[in-house]
Structure 1
Amino acid sequence: MTQTTNAPALHPQTTARLHELGLELPAPSNSVASYVPATRVGDLVYTSGQLPHENGVLASTGKVGSDVSAEEASALAATCVLNALSAASALGDLDKARIVKVVGFVASAPGFNGQPAVINGASDLLLDIFGDRGAHARSAVGVAELPLNAPVEVELIVEFF
C-alpha cells in the first residue's frame, strides 16, 4: 500500500528562499554518458546522480575519511543537491515541489562509517530551502569508488504538485 500526503502548505517560495540563503542554482549540466540528467514520470522527477561540480569542475576528489574530511564532504553533498535541483527545475516549477527521497553515495576510506553525517549536508540544505516540503526519506550508502573519483554523489526524487 502506498501512503501519500496532500501537498504541504507552501513555505516561502523556493526561488525566493534560495535568494534569501544567497544560493543560486547552476545551469543544468549535460549528461556525459548514456543518460539524461533527470526524467519525469507523472508528478515525479527522478534525477540522475549528481556530483559536486562547481562551474563545470569537480570541487574535490578522493575518499571521505582519508583525502576528504567528513565536514568537507557534507558541504560537497549540499553542492550535489544544488546540481540535482537544477536538473529537476528543467522539468518542473520548484515553487510547486516537495522532496520525496534523497539517495547519497559516499566514496569511503576503509573504516569510515560516517555516511549519514555526510549526507546530512544534502538533507539539511533541502530542509533550509523547502521547509516542511523538504522532509524526505533517505539512504546514505558507503561505496568504494564514485565516477571521476568524486567523494560524494546525490540523487533526488522530487514531486511536483
Structure 2
Amino acid sequence: LYWSLEPDRQTNSIAITSHILYLFSDVSRSCRHSRLRQISCSQIRQKKQRRKMAADAADAGEKISVVVEFSGGLEMLFSDQRRHALSIPAVNKDGKPATIAFLIDYLCENTMKDSRKELFVLDGHLRPGILALINDADWELEGEEAYEVQSGDNILFVSTLHGG
C-alpha cells in the first residue's frame, strides 16, 4: 500500500490518495494507472534484474573489486593498513547480491587480524560511532547495510570515537 499526494484541480487543494500495488509475475500488469506504481514497478524490475545478475555471478564465481579504507584508529584493527584493495564474492552465501552487511562480515572474517572484533562490530552490525561513507556519500543515503556493493566502490569507515 503506497500513499501519494495528488493535486485536486476542482477544489484547488491536495488530496491524499492510496495506491495498492500487487506483485504479479508480469509486473507491467500492476503498473497501468499510477505514476507512483510505474516508479515502484521499475524499481521491482531493477531488483529482479540485479538478483538475476547476482545468480549468474554466483554460477561463474565472479568477484567484485572494491577499495576499503579505515581512519580514526580503525586501521589498527586491520594490520595498521589504511587502504585495502579487495576482491569479494559478488554474492553472499544465500545467492543474493553482496551488500555492505556482507562486506562488514567479510572484513571481520578475512581481513581483520586483530582479535578485538567488538571494536568494529556490535551484535553483527557496524558499531555505533563508526561513520561509513560509500563513494564519499553517507551510507544512510545509500540504504546503510542493505546497499548492494558494486565493482569499483570506495568504502570508508571512520571511527568518530578516538583520543586527541
- Quickly name the TM-score band, shorter chain normalised: under 0.3
Larger Rg: 1 or 2?
2
